[in-house]
Chain A
Amino acid sequence: MAMYNDKVMDHFMHPRNVGEIENPDGLGKYGSPVCGDMMQITIKVDDNDVISDAKFQTFGCGSAIASSSVATEMIIGKTVDEALELTNKQIINELGGLPDVKIHCSVLADHAIKSAIYDYAQKNGKTYKGLEGFDPDADEDDHHDVADE
């Protein structure tokens, strides 16, 4: 289907890191089924503050699944500080582009990852520069874009 490029289709058809880590160090959830997409990201962080594993579960469209898949790939092996530098634009670039009406999927993935790290920081009494001003329950202001028919 012409809607998505091959890279997006590959991540959608063969998503990486699907599932839920048992006893995760951090868990982030973002989105809402009412809006059509919701992601959950679980992470494991090792003693060197490196994200050793990440898994996702997503209720959503092809690009939501592809964004979650590629985002988990991008943070595994990174330090928490490095992972916090991830932006939704980098997710889009890694996927080789998303249709305009699907940009919000990358925002959701970015936010879900930050939420998981936020959870980890809260549980372990850690502070990170990248989490300053971050609100895990912030409204999805970039979510309700409407396509022309």
Chain B
Amino acid sequence: MKEVYLDYSATTPVKKEVAEEMSQYILGHYGNPSSLYKIGSASKEAVDIARAKVAKLINAAPEEIYFTSCGTEADNWAFFGVADAKRKKGNHIITSNIEHHAIIHTGNYMSKRGYDITYVEPDKEGRISPESVEKAITDKTVLISIMMVNNEIGTIEPIKEIAKIAKEHGITSHTDAVQALGNVPIDVKDLGVDLMSLSAHKIYGPKGVGALYIKKGTLISNYMHGGGQEKKKRAGTENLAGIVGFGKAAEIAYDNLEDHIKKVSGLRDYFLKRVTEEIPDVQVNGSMEYRHPGNASVTFKYIEGEAILLLLNEKNIYVSTGSACSSASLVPSHVLMAIGVPAELIHGTIRFTVGDFTTKEDIDYTVDCLKEVVAKLRNISSVDGKKGW
């Protein structure tokens, strides 16, 4: 049976070129980049080449890229590292209530340990207004962290404006750009942010490797303590193959960014057109103007999302309810709640994300199956348009 993967925001398949380059550093080169002899320096060189490629994708200097084990680690480092480095100035952090759990749960943890965290709310489209961020600033604010692209509804946030406000107030700015990387153009010099979290597995690279961009001169304490790797800022032997894979994936993403955005948004728009025209009682969540090119967050009224997911799964179509991280939980999506989607509609929401390997045939197959699945579940449902909720 045909298999259709429409969950590229959860993770992406590793591209062949990426895997091939990685395999040389799994089966071949094994030297520790910190070792001084030949096979060590060969590994170090590979790490630095990868660093330059990741840097290029966001227009950073290579020495501003610090590899981590994942995007979550980069987020944790930004929070704990800045809070610690600036603890004499204050204990207040501003973020939003639509962040990834890597930020929200880190904030919740810190708020139980003496930090004051403000979670700014978005508008109905999912946009965080720079004004609301500015209003939340106090003389104790040390960090402003707003995600660049939301993982559930794909909204692109006004990071440049927010970073400008942070700078005017002498506050460090951070953005979780895990969903943005390779999907929207990123220029850290233009954005003006101090810190940016990145991850490889969302851009057709391997799982288990991420990075934190640290603008030269930014005050931040270490988070991982140990050896002197990453210019003594992030301890731990480098994930050599992973970093090489991240570099290759970043290089491909850089070379294909324009085509990728065009192709993916074209398929996403075609999907949304068919779904909204051919299936009654649906709604699309989040801004269409400021949106991740591959994201389609769709609510199917009067039915429940997990049931939709399971029936699509039976047809080898892979999607997620809300964000993948919370699909095993019964808690309604905090992002959809934050933009004011009623709970009964949140339960019927599915996130489809299109990527580089998606074809028009995949979309057609998915829409055809969706029509069948939605009709089947609506036939079972105890609520409908006539009876109401």
Contacts and interface: CB of A to CB of B under 8 A. Distances in A.
A87 to B, nearest CB: 22
B380 A33 contact: no
B380 A57 contact: yes
- 9 tightest Cβ-Cβ pairs between the two chains A and B: A33-B344, A57-B382, A61-B306, A40-B382, A36-B347, A147-B329, A34-B343, A59-B381, A62-B310
A146 B382 contact: no
Interface stretch (A10-18, A72-80, A129-137): A10-18
28 contacts: A3-B310, A9-B310, A13-B314, A18-B379, A29-B382, A33-B344, A36-B330, A36-B343, A36-B344, A39-B382, A56-B382, A57-B382, A58-B381, A58-B382, A59-B304, A59-B383, A61-B304, A62-B310, A65-B307, A65-B380, A145-B330, A146-B329, A146-B330, A147-B328, A149-B101, A149-B325, A149-B326, A149-B328
Interface string B313-326: 11000000000011
Interface residues of B, number: 28
B81 to A, nearest CB: 24
A43 interface: no
Interface residues of A, number: 32
Contacts, number: 75
B329 A149 contact: yes
B389 A33 contact: yes
Nearest to A41: B382
B271 interface: no
Contacts of B347: 33, 36
A36 B330 CA distance: 9
Interface in A49-83: 56-62, 64-65
Nearest to A37: B304
Interface string B338-366: 00001110010000000000000000000
Contacts of A35: 343
A65 B382 CA distance: 11
B182 to A, nearest CB: 26
Contacts of A40: 382
B344 A62 contact: no
A116 interface: no
Interface in B16-61: none
Contact of A36 (B328, B332, B380, B381): B332
